[in-house]
Chain A
Amino acid sequence: MSQSQHSVADDSEAKPVLAASLHDVRYLVALLRGISFSNRATVTLTADGGMTVSVEESRTLVATSYIYPDHFDEWTYTPPPPPPKSASASATQATELTNDDDDEADTNTTTAFEVPLNTLIDCLGIYGTANLTSLASSSGGPKHRRWRRDGESGDEGDGDGGRRGGGGGGGGRGRRDEAPSNNSRIDAYFGAASNEKRTSARVSYGGPGYPLALLLAEDASGPTTTCEIATFDPEPGVDLPFDGERTVLKIIFKSSSWLRDALAELDPSCDKITFTCNPPAAAAANNAPQPQQPQQRGGGSTAKPLFRIQASGTFGSTEMDYPNDREVLETYECGAPLSATYRFGHIARTLRALQSSTKTSLRIDDAGLLSLQFLVPVPVPKPRGGSGGGGGGGTSNSFIEFRCLALDDGTSY
């Protein structure tokens, strides 16, 4: 890994590889912070896909944030000229040529580099106005339903009695403010923006060997900050391709809090976490005879739960079962019984991403590869060219994806 920085005056006439600007860095920071468990992140720029930032841990866990061009007020990506050609000539010609082949080549070009992620986040947050604290609470509101408790009337085949934790103290915790707050996100974007300060940023990257340059400002009268963050040549990262054909389990949590609360409940000292699932028919048949009866702790393993999260550690184990309720599991597709075990430390890495997301998709393939996708809505600035301001063009859905390999011993198909 070599760090090499050209002097900026080198070829100032060549277009920078990336020139982008955004008027509110909070969503960018939320997307980056969701994966900030390791300092070294690989940033990949593509012509149409925008920017992906990925981080890996022990070649088992890969987390990727997708940052689309429409999140930015301005986004210009010029793939760097291929190195073998004489650089200065091709850079100027490439823009003039209308040749199809050339365009084709350009759109396929990707640029990758590594940056110290925590440094990047620290720089973006320099004015202290880059934190997205309101997102999770305000957006989760309308979709969020508290756990159904024993004794309450269930409306359908939800005999499982909701969640059953080792601690059992989850009832009160799950109760959340249900007041409709449809507008709160809009408020966060418009109303709050008018009286609260936002950090706006201009991002540029000159190409391999150049630093990632940021220009940050709060308002016209305030200070301006320039940062140059060293970039590194990318190292080949671990690739964990998820083949949709081989999906065994697919769950969409209607609200990310259904998973977040469950994971947050688990003791940090746990070392393994197991996801167990059964096809809905099998689970229903199993549970039909005793719909409202709490299961015995020991007997839990013999029953066929629909979807169960089980965590174990030195101090004991915790089991949580999810009901087959569309309000909780919006989608539940399970082809065959499956149980896959992961290192809890890896799964716990997702908590920060869960914090800023609204919906979660969980998929596991037949080899136990876990794919968690967290939907993060990002308000889209005005149509291109407009200076942005507060005018929203709706929201764009971005997401953070975590992929994790299963532990060898605990997976049964």
Chain B
Amino acid sequence: MRFRANIENVPIFYRTIQAVEKLQKKCIIKFTETEMHIICNDDANEGGIQVWSVVKVDSIFASYRIQSNANNQITMILATDALLQALRSSSTSAATSSVAAAVLPTYDSDEVVMKLAKKHDQAVLAFEMLGISRTGRKIRVAHDVRVDVMRPSDVDRLREPLCPEPDVHILLPNLQKLRTIVERIRPLSDIIAIRANNSGKLQVSIDTDTVKLETQWTGCANPPMARDELTQDAEDPAHEHDPDELFSVHVSIRSFLKFLNSHVVSTTTIACVCQNHCAILYVYIGEVADAGGVLTYYIPTVIDGDE
């Protein structure tokens, strides 16, 4: 089992882990020959939220080498905060919150190498950074993040949640703005309803004994989905959807806020509503055109007595 890579784009990696870190203490990272999958599927998560993300190796790593008995895949469980610490020290620009830092290649370290190693009979992901300090001296920083490599049989048991074909796809407004609003609603209710239709309308609302509140965006884009067209060809006459019909899903407001933590990494976010089943949120890492990677959040509906 061999694994070694240079981390070229530390800020993106850092932000992705940062978004995931709020969700659970440990996460699963699966490296394949072309992709990195970050998986948070703990049953104990608030409201049952799960994250399944796919990042293309090329968008973060260089000189990527992987070798294993299981189809050249390596899957490991590691502590997110330890990984975050390691990444933070490799680049000060990663730790700053501005988006500009993600774009500008201002690394303090010339080279960040990540490799799988064994130290004291314990598998670790070793990070080694070589850089130059402000005074011009060469420095070398090493972090070892303890990992548990998963057995291939356990890996096979990981299953992405099965969802029906979403009723609606909609482009979300700026996540940071959305987050401000949801944070203000948070003290008023535990459950938030997300509604969207196929003509660009998005609503988030709460309904409690003391207050009914509804925030509405209009003019959001409904991205055409490749899958949509396929299914529509097959059963178009049977399924004439009214574009103004709102589809809604009730989710735990705390889970929704956890998803909104991904504003640090997001440029474009598409929300899908499976009526009364779940909300699926695709957070694109980097520009959509590059399709460097996507974080997929699954938030199941809250079964409410009123519904």
Contacts and interface: CB of A to CB of B under 8 A. Distances in A.
Contacts of A125: 184
B214 A230 contact: no
Contacts of B213: 123, 126, 225-228
Which of the four size classes fits the interface of chain B?
10 to 19
Interface stretch (B91-99, B144-152, B204-212, B244-252): B204-212
A221 B217 CA distance: 9
Contacts of A230: 209-211
Contact of A229 (B173, B210, B217, B219): B210
B210 A126 contact: no
B214 A122 contact: no
Interface in A112-158: 116, 118-119, 122-123, 125-128
Describe B's contact surface by its main secondary structure: mixed
A123 B211 contact: yes
Given A127-B180, A230-B210, A122 B216 contact: no
A34 B184 CA distance: 19
B181 A127 contact: yes
Interface in A83-132: 116, 118-119, 122-123, 125-128
B211 A225 contact: no
A223 interface: yes
Given A119-B188, A223-B216, A126 B211 contact: no
B216 A225 contact: yes
A4 interface: no
A368 interface: no
Contacts of A224: 215-216
A8 B217 CA distance: 23
21 contacts: A122-B185, A123-B188, A123-B211, A125-B184, A126-B181, A126-B185, A126-B215, A127-B177, A127-B181, A127-B184, A211-B212, A222-B177, A223-B216, A225-B213, A225-B214, A225-B215, A227-B214, A229-B210, A229-B211, A230-B209, A230-B210
Given A123-B188, A225-B215, 8 more contacts: A122-B185, A123-B213, A126-B181, A126-B215, A223-B217, A226-B216, A229-B210, A230-B211
Interface of A: 3, 116, 118-119, 122-123, 125-128, 211, 221-230
The 9 closest A-B CB pairs, nearest first, are A225-B215, A228-B212, A128-B180, A227-B213, A223-B217, A126-B184, A230-B210, A229-B211, A116-B210
Interface of B: 173, 177, 180-181, 183-185, 187-188, 209-217, 219
